Every structure is written in C-alpha cells, then in structure tokens.
Amino acid sequence: MRFEIACYKNKVLSWRSRVEKDLDEVLQSHTVYSNVSKGVLAKTKDLVAAFGTDDQTKICLEILEKGELQVAGKERESQFSSQFRDIATIVMQKTINPETQRPYTISMIERLMHEIHFAVDPNSSSKKQALEVIRQLQNNFPIKRSPMRLRLIVPGQNFHSLCEKLNEWGATIVSKDESGTQLSVICEIEPGLFRECDSLVRNLQGRLEILSVSVHAEGDTQVDNYDDEDISSQLPKDSAKSASSRLPPESSDSVVQLSEKIQKHTISSGNGNAEGEAKQHKCSTCNAFVGDSKQYRDHFKSEWHKHNLKRKTRQLPPLTAEECLADVELSDSKSDLQDYSF
C-alpha cells in the first residue's frame, strides 16, 4: 500500500535536520492520501492495517520521518544547478593557474567541469565533491591547489630541523624571524602537507598559526598580459593622449602601445578594397564592414551598434565609430548640465 502527504517545498529537509520545529510550516494539511496529485484520500482501514492507528497527525509524522521524498523535475534540476555552482565556487577558491598564480573565474571552472563530464551527487557534500573535481581537473588542465600560508614557531634548537623539512617539501619561505628564543618562519605549503606539517611542529614543541587558507597573487596584471582581441576599440585618440600625459614616463609608454593596438583593431567602415570586403561581414545598421565572425558577433554588443539602432528607430542615418563616440559624449555632457541646472 502507498501513502502520501502534501508538504511545502524545501521544508522536509529542514524538518529532518531539526531546523524547522513547527509541523504546520511543513505540512500543507494533516491528511494522508493514497495519491496527492489526484486528491485521493487513504482509506481508514488501510491506515489501521499499515500503521496500527487512524490518527492522521501521528501517521503524517511517521511518513515525514521515514518516507521517501518526491521532488518535481524542475525542483530537482534547480537543486542540482545550485549544488553544481557551490562546487565550482569551492574549486575556484581552492585553486590557481600555475602560470599566473591567480584563480580562474567561476565561469571557466564551470566550463572545465562540463568538459570532464562531472555529475553532481546529491548525497555527497559539496566540499568532498569539489576536492574530487580538483583531482580530475589536474589530470587534464593547468590547475593546482592554491598554497596555504602558515606561521611556524619553534624553539631555537629545533629551527634548523624545521627549515630542512620545509626545503624537502618544496615550501616557499616568505620571511624568517630569528630574534629571541622562539624562532618563527612564515611559509607557503601545499594543503595536502598541512597535517604532516602540524604533526612535525608539535613534535618540535612549537605551534602553528594559519595566516591564509588560500594564497593568490595580488596586484593588477600588466597590459601585455591581455590578448589583443580583449582590448576595447571604443577609446578615442585624445583620451589616450590625455591619459599618458598624467602618467609617469615608464607607464606612458604602455599607454602609447595600448592606443596603437586600439587603432589597429578599429573596425573598418567600408574603406577596404574589394578583396577585404569579400572576407568581412557587413552590418547593415551601421553600414560598415566588421571583420570575421567573432568580430561580427562582438559588434552587435558594442555601444556603436546600439547607438545606431536607436538612430535607426528614429529614421536617422548611421554614424561612424568616431562620430558615435562624439555623439555619446555630447549627450552625456547635456545630461550633466541638466543635473546641475538650477
């Protein structure tokens, strides 16, 4: 015999974990059904035969504790998607790119997880699955666990033994403090060596302090680290010159290089020869050739295209990239004047 009860979404697990104490917040009604979706109530004789009582509330409590939880397809998909995101977040926090010493973005981690065909296990914790994902990703992609930063404090006579062990583990020593009887060292080690390191420090009659669970590189990257395709082509020449005049000499050179790259990647507005036009895609809204397929897709997201779309709805002719920039700056200036008008 099959018996069902109607519960509110996401409340059964809260009840079973003893977070929710109010039964009325969990049950939609204190009624036992043989089929909830069709509204068929369970027969009293069946309840007595199965549970030994016809008290609906007691039976509801027993089903709530021991019954199998039925989840709708969309709700199950939402739970899987949420846990998948949680796992990806943990992986992002615990890993870095070995070349740049910086963490991957959450979208890149999710894409890599899809590539290794990772499937979420709802019965396992997100942290446990994240560690398994890291092991699988290390076999196929350039990714590694971000090191832990520790402060190790030991008596002076045991300091040499500690340093030898750190060198054996390949730990990175950040700083040493050899003043006084208690000597300390700040180092970065692989998380997998933490238990062994903790045990070693205890044996050496010292103590261990965790300064950071996950160490990432700090500071901004240089302009040269970015791909040419990622550089925006919407900055005017005057702004690049004015920016370089405010910067110190060593950084002004990089600004000049950036402006040169921007000029190289400025979208052609139809002045190319016939051979170039044959290889390029033309945007009818902007009346311009916009390069290959990738540049064509990116063009539709640009402010230039969006601005010309607005002009097209007002039956105005399209503007070139430079004219569009000047028009946008003029409208911004007008709006600023309106804000400060008295």
Are residues 233 and 206 in contact, defined by beta-carbon separation less than 8 angstroms?
no
Residue 244: inside a domain, yes or no?
Answer: no
**What integer pLDDT is reported at residue 156 of this predicted model?**
79
Q: Structure tokens of 307?
A: 């601005």
Cα 31 to the center of its chain, rounded Å: 44
Residue 296: inside a domain, yes or no?
Answer: yes
Q: Are residues 137 and 84 in the same domain?
A: yes
How sure is the predictor about 98, in pLDDT bands with cuts at 50, 70 and 90?
Answer: confident
Residue 307: inside a domain, yes or no?
Answer: yes
Q: Are residues 134 and 180 in the same domain?
A: no
Last residue of a domain, one of 52, 70, 88: 70
CATH code of 100's domain: 1.10.10.900
CATH code of 193's domain: 3.30.70.240
How sure is the predictor about 33, in pLDDT bands with cuts at 50, 70 and 90?
Answer: very high
Half-sphere exposure of 294 (CA within 13 A, CB side): 3
**C-alpha pair distances (Å), 155 with each of 31, 135, 192:** 69, 37, 25
Say which residues have a Cβ less than 8 Å from residue 270's Cβ, sequence separation at least 6. 277, 282, 287, 288, 289
Last residue of a domain, one of 186, 212, 238: 212
How high does pLDDT run on average in the chain? 76
Q: Are residues 123 and 157 in the same domain?
A: no
Q: Considering its fold, how many domains does the chain have in total?
A: 4
Last residue of a domain, one of 212, 228, 248: 212
Residue 47: inside a domain, yes or no?
Answer: yes
pTM of the model: 0.46
Give the residue numbers spanning the domain of 138: 80-144
Beta strand pairing call for 144-145 and 148-155:
unpaired
Q: Are residues 156 and 136 in the same domain?
A: no
Q: Are residues 326 and 287 in the same domain?
A: yes
How sure is the predictor about 336, in pLDDT bands with cuts at 50, 70 and 90?
Answer: low
Q: Are residues 135 and 173 in the same domain?
A: no
Say which residues have a Cβ less than 8 Å from residue 160's Cβ, sequence separation at least 6. none
Q: Are residues 15 and 42 in the same domain?
A: yes
Helix axes 249-264, 237-246, angle to 10 degrees: 170
Residue 131: inside a domain, yes or no?
Answer: yes
Q: Are residues 160 and 125 in the same domain?
A: no
Residue 242: inside a domain, yes or no?
Answer: no
Read off the pLDDT of each residue in 4-23 and give the average, rounded to a whole number. Answer: 83
Q: Are residues 179 and 137 in the same domain?
A: no
Among 119-128, 313-322, 328-337, the least confident range? 328-337
CATH code of 21's domain: 3.30.1250.10
Strands in 172-177's sheet, in edge-to-edge order, are: 172-177, 182-189, 148-155, 207-212
Residue 273: inside a domain, yes or no?
Answer: no
Task: For residue 85, give the amino acid letter.
Answer: R
How sure is the predictor about 298, in pLDDT bands with cuts at 50, 70 and 90?
Answer: confident
Read off the pLDDT of each residue in 65-86 and give the average, rounded to a whole number. Answer: 79
Are residues 234 and 302 in contact, defined by beta-carbon separation less than 8 angstroms?
yes
**What integer pLDDT is reported at residue 163 of this predicted model?**
84
